Structure 1
Amino acid sequence: MAAKRLQRLDISDELKERLARQGLTTCADVLAKSPLELMKLSGRSGLTVHDLVHRCCLSQAVKPVTALHLLKSRERGGTFFATSLPDLDKVLHGGIPTATMTEIAGPAGCGKTQFSMTLSVLATLPVEDGGLGGGVVYIDTEGAFSAKRLLEIAQTRLPQQFQDDSSLKELASQVHIVSVQSCKNLMNRLQSIEEDLIQKKIKLMVLDSVASLVRKEYSNVQGGMMRRTDFLASEAALLKYIAETFSIPVIVTNQITTRYGQRAPVSSPHTPDDGDGSVEVDGEGSYLTAALGNTWSHSVNTRLILQYLAGDRRQILVAKSPVAPFTCFDFIITKKGVEQDVQGQGHYKGTDPGKQAIQGRAGLSVGSTQW
């Protein structure tokens, strides 16, 4: 990633400080300058500048690894983050894969933030207890995060680990909330976050949500779709770089949108079809699917879709995974956060993850509790 901080390069502190005074703090800043400009700004010889540029280029080069290295890494453990939903962890071969980007998509109120906060609690647990043994960076773009709800999940789900105020305060101190209100603010934060990840021993990053800012800023403006695509490509590259460099899971939540003019493949074994494996969610041939389009869909490594079933029932679909089949599980949201409903599990006929139909809320029963 060209936004890598110069502080992490093996160059003299004096040179780092001089470059910083000139506004050059990342590899991108250095690589954007000509050798003559760098000589003038740094006060160094052409040989020193050549070495600086060479080091910046090397730091961005993709370093290949062997299949044996990947195998040994998996044998050592730590390649998956258990969600505590037994059947989901089983089909994912251990849980959400680290060093990759996982998307949780679904309609409003279906449990994306609840799932994210549940994972945040679990990530702070010691490794021997199924956690990641570190902190969490939670980037909130919608103001949906609730510290009170986070502590409620911890207390009710894990009463032994969080039975007193001191343990709850320790949990709260490990979850770092970053509120952003614009795409520019978000990109700047991602480009400068490496130091925080190291200092705060971050083991999980959550972005809730990836869609809200781009949909607000790039809708109904001239050239908005192209600018949105460019921004999402840069954002995805940054998020995947962070995941791979620090070997942590990056979780992003996504909203839904409506597609028209196509029949949507059946997305659940509980959804009645018309005999040919497809179902119309809307009478006009439209259906709900994950937002941001196919380009973004191809950027995520794993896609989990949350959707509504009849009444208050909800379901998780494994819509995209390099290791898991198309599988679905019923789940419920309680004071403990997201829990698996053991009554519902099955396989479904999958499709392109970018076109997977999602069931929205048909209605809400009287007296139901929404978390």
Structure 2
Amino acid sequence: MANKLIKQMGLPKSIANIFTARNIITAKDALSHTEFELMELLDVDKEEVTSAMAHVSEVVCPPCQTALLLLEQRVRNETLAGHLPTHLKGLDEALCGGIPFGVLTELVGPAGIGKTQFCLKLSLLASLPASCGGLDGRVIYIDIESKFRSKRLIEIGINSFPEIFLKKGMAQEMAGRILVLRPTSLSEFAESLYQIKVSLLQQQVKLLIIDSMAALVLGEHECGTSRQQALGVHVSFIKSLAEFSRIPVILTNQVRSQFGDESRMYSFQEPLYNKR
């Protein structure tokens, strides 16, 4: 909005022409000066400058919105974009249908609580045929802590969807749709992300899981500030991947104890209601 042209703001033609003649073309140009500076530049009185600047400020200033309105807009957008149902009734109801498409969803909790198990089940749900309630697509699973277990994946499939996984060849077909990457350094991880951006379109990828990036950053950065900076850069790119591809993106994060009994959690998601 700062680059909106002065002549497009509905100012009186006389004052708009004066702005243009003095090479004040955009709202940013005008708002970069004080009223007294504009009085000298435009050679007009204070009342006229004050009125013009109030009008320009009103046009370019975004309207105020309540937190409730922002929440309602987000829920509405997520509903329109779609969800990946978790098949857990209470959770799907709380999430308005499941894991939303087009956003980054963070799973947070202490070690051993079941985050990876949940990610394995989501991987199966994304790879299931659409006729069975799945997304009928491929999954990219970035397994940073080497917790992915194919055997456990099949066990979850057989227990949760026996009518599908007990059919000949179905377990192999579903498992074959899940691509597992195991970067060993932050540079490898960054390279994987850029390669993934191409794969999201070319290979019908319907879900991206990162389990968990914090572990990789913790291993390479001892300083809290540099660690958070590294996380911020990569998480911003991951968020852009979610928006670009319009698929659900899951990132796990865990509470870690540091400096005695002090407990810290490296959190990436800004709106509280998006944390899973």
Question: 1:218: Cα distance to partner?
Answer: 0.4
CA contact (8 A) 1:208 1:252 kept: yes
**1:114 aligned partner, one-letter code:** Q
Distance 1:120 1:136 in 2: 6
Name 1:303's counterpart in structure 2: 275
CA distance in 2 between partners of 1:258 and 1:212 (Å)? 13
Q: Measure, in 2, the Cα distance between the counterparts of 1:300 and 1:201.
A: 30
Give 1 or 2: higher strand fraction.
Answer: 1
Partner of 2:89: 86
Contact 1:134 1:202 in 2 (8 A): yes
- Checking the alignment, whether the CA contact within 8 Å between 2:79 and 2:96 is kept in structure 1 is no
Of Structure 1 and Structure 2, the greater helix share is in 2
Partner of 1:127: 130
Of 140, 158, 162 in structure 1, the residue corresponding to residue 161 of structure 2 is 158
Residues 102, 300 of structure 1: 8 Å contact kept: no
Paired residue for 1:143? 146
* Cα deviation digits, residues 292-335 of structure 1 (max 9, x gap): 15xx342887222xxxxxxxxxxxxxxxxxxxxxxxxxxxxxxx
Q: Give the conservation status (yes or no) of the 8 Å contact 1:106–1:256.
A: yes
2:79 and 2:254 mapped to 1: Cα distance?
Answer: 32
Cα distance in 1 between the residues matched to 2:144 and 2:273: 22
From 195, 215, 218, the equivalent of 1:215 is 218
Normalised TM-score (structure 1): 0.51
Aligned residues of 1:106 and 1:112 also touching (Cα < 8 A): yes
2:202 paired with 1:199: yes
Match of 1:316 in 2: none
Aligned-partner Cα distance in 2 for 1:178–1:82: 24
TM-score (norm 2): 0.67
Question: Which residue matches 2:19?
Answer: none
Structure 2 partner of 1:101: 104
Structure 2 CA distance for partners of 1:73 and 1:186, relative to 1, 3 Å: closer
Deviation sequence 1:52-107 (CA, Å, 0-9, x none):
xxxxxxxxxxxxxxx99x969845xx511111110010011111111011111111
Letter in 2 for 1:298: E
CA contact (8 A) 1:123 1:204 kept: yes
1:192: Cα distance to partner? Answer: 2.1
Residue number in structure 2 paired with 1:29: none
Q: Is the 8 A contact 2:106 2:269 kept in 1?
A: no
Gaps of 5+ in 1: 1-66, 261-283, 305-371
**C-alpha deviation, 1:256, in angstroms:** 0.7
Counterparts of 1:183 and 1:300 in 2: how far apart (Å)?
27
Structure 1 residues 1-371: aligned runs within 5 Å:
74=79, 79-219=82-222, 224-258=223-257, 288=263, 291-292=265-266, 296-298=268-270, 302-304=274-276
C-alpha distance in structure 2 between counterparts of 1:161 and 1:115, whole Å: 19
Distance 1:186 1:299, change over 3 A: farther
CA distance in 2, matches of 1:292, 1:194: 25
For 2:78 and 2:109, locate their aligned partners in 1 and report how far apart those are by CA, in whole Å: 32
Q: Contact 1:102 / 1:301 at 8 angstroms: preserved in 2?
A: no
Moved over 6 A (4+): none
Moved more, 170-179 or 226-235: 226-235
Distance in 1 (CA, whole Å) between partners of 2:88 and 2:76 is 25
Deviation at 1:227, TM superposition (A): 2.3
| Offset of residue 165 of structure 1 | 3.9
SS at match of 2:122: helix
Which blocks of at least 5 consecutive residues in structure 2 are unaligned? 1-71
C-alpha distance in 2, partners of 1:292/1:109?
17
In the TM superposition, what is the alpha-carbon distance from 1:231 to its structure 2 partner? 1.4
Matched letter for residue 209 of structure 1? S
Residue identity opposite 1:96 in structure 2: I
Distance of 1:117 and 1:92 partners within structure 2: 19
CA gap of 1:141–1:300, structure 2 versus 1, over 3 A, is farther
Per-residue Cα deviation, 1:105-151 (whole angstroms, up to 9, x for no partner): 11111111101001111111233432222110000101110011111
Separation in 1 of the partners of 2:107 and 2:234?
16
> Once superposed, what is the RMSD of the aligned Cα atoms?
2.5
CA contact (8 A) 2:128 2:136 kept: yes
Number of aligned residue pairs: give it.
204
C-alpha deviation, 1:187, in angstroms: 0.9
